[in-house]
Amino acid sequence: MVELMNAATQPDPKPTNTGRTQPRQPEFPELDLLRLTLNQVDYGLVVLNVESRAVQYANASGHDALHGVMDNLGNKRYDAGLHLVQGCVAARRPADADAFRHTLERTRVGVRGLLSLGGGNQTRAVAVLPLATPVGDPARSVVSYGAPTVVPACHALLVFAKQQLCDSSTMALFARDRGLTSAEGQVLAQVCRGLRPSEIADHHGVQISTVRTQLRNIRLKTCCETIGEVIQKVSVLPPMARHLSAHMAGLAWRQQTA
């Protein structure tokens, strides 16, 4: 597996006879901590081998992006524009295959890329980032808490776009922190999904004046002049992933090269 980060070490308070402090052993394996950390991020993250396109690591959101997710009707949806074919990442649409291949190849020389996969209103963005230091450029080494590390040039990181402005669990935390009522929190979530006040009123079976009162309360409680400012605040909230079960929180999914 590709190691993305070295463990942080803390000095032992008791110096040895040499007068030098010794690193303290981590309380938890550093790679396990890293996996747990990345599973809490609301972006799909996938590390793959540029040459073979075999997956080396994926966080929980990255796993969902490649394998698809079930909708309310029990059908599997593939919204990321990429999927797995015998353990290797490939574009779902033949029309996107050349762009994907070209962008991956450019990571060999340290060039980042941003792919737009799909067509029409189903376009999805995927960032492609090199996990390597270009030859002869030591200044771009990956520096961790330990010694500087150079990741092999054959790996790249895929970062998948979020599927919505803000996850429902993050929205709920924001609403609770700002003192919104349950109804106001639901209205805020629907506004962030692009619904108009009249549509929200119809959805809840209330008068539009009720929704407008709730929107005014939301502005007051979030200290914003307009609902647009509220949405802007929501858009820059930390990207916390949806609540994960204990099993999924510890999941580090890897696909070995056959």
Lowest mean pLDDT among 27-31, 182-186, 189-193: 27-31
What was the pLDDT predicted at 60?
87
Q: Are strands 44-49 and 55-58 parallel, antiparallel or unpaired?
A: antiparallel
- Residues 40 and 124 grouped into a single domain: yes
Length of the chain: 258
| 37: in domain | yes
* Of 40, 34, 35, 46, nearest in space to 7 by CA: 34
Residue 127, beta-bridge partner list: 114, 159
| 201: in domain | yes
- Residues 55 and 144 grouped into a single domain: yes
Residue 240, beta-bridge partner list: 41
- Residues 102 and 206 grouped into a single domain: no
- Residues 71 and 41 grouped into a single domain: yes
Number of separate domains in the chain: 2
State how far the Cα of 89 lies from the Cα of 64, in Å rounded to an integer. 13
Calculated CA dihedral for residues 91, 95, 98, 103, nearest 10 degrees: -60
- Residues 89 and 206 grouped into a single domain: no
Residues 6+ apart with CB under 8 A from 235: 165, 166
**Which two structure tokens, joined as six digits, stand for 216?**
């005014």
Which CATH number fits the domain that encloses residue 91? 3.30.450
Band of residue 149 on the pLDDT scale cut at 50, 70, 90 = low
Residues 6+ apart with CB under 8 A from 173: 240
Res 247 pLDDT > 50 = no
* Of 194, 128, 132, 131, nearest in space to 160 by CA: 128
| 77: in domain | yes
- Residues 149 and 40 grouped into a single domain: yes
Which CATH number fits the domain that encloses residue 230? 1.10.10.10
- Residues 245 and 125 grouped into a single domain: yes
| 218: in domain | yes
Helix (H, G, I), strand (E, B) or coil at 17: coil
* Contact in structure between 241 and 36 (CB atoms under 8 Å): no
State how far the Cα of 146 lies from the Cα of 6, in Å rounded to an integer. 6
| 40: in domain | yes
- Residues 149 and 222 grouped into a single domain: no
| 10: in domain | no
Q: Could you tell me which residue, 244 or 32, shows the higher pLDDT? A: 32
Band of residue 10 on the pLDDT scale cut at 50, 70, 90 = very low
Cα–Cα distance list, 244 to 154, 174, 248 (Å): 31, 18, 6
- Residues 155 and 191 grouped into a single domain: no
Res 249 pLDDT > 50 = no
* Of 154, 151, 158, nearest in space to 3 by CA: 151
- Residues 115 and 191 grouped into a single domain: no
State how far the Cα of 140 lies from the Cα of 161, in Å rounded to an integer. 26
State how far the Cα of 130 lies from the Cα of 199, in Å rounded to an integer. 44
Res 181 pLDDT > 70 = yes
State how far the Cα of 207 lies from the Cα of 191, in Å rounded to an integer. 16
Residue with tokens 């990429």: 82
| 14: in domain | no
State how far the Cα of 68 lies from the Cα of 65, in Å rounded to an integer. 5
Provide the whole-model pTM: 0.64
- Residues 44 and 121 grouped into a single domain: yes
- Residues 113 and 212 grouped into a single domain: no
Kind and range of the H or E run holding 58: strand 55-58
Q: Are strands 113-117 and 124-130 parallel, antiparallel or unpaired?
A: antiparallel
Domain enclosing residue 206, as ranges:
168-235
| 182: in domain | yes
**Which two structure tokens, joined as six digits, stand for 201?**
């009123």
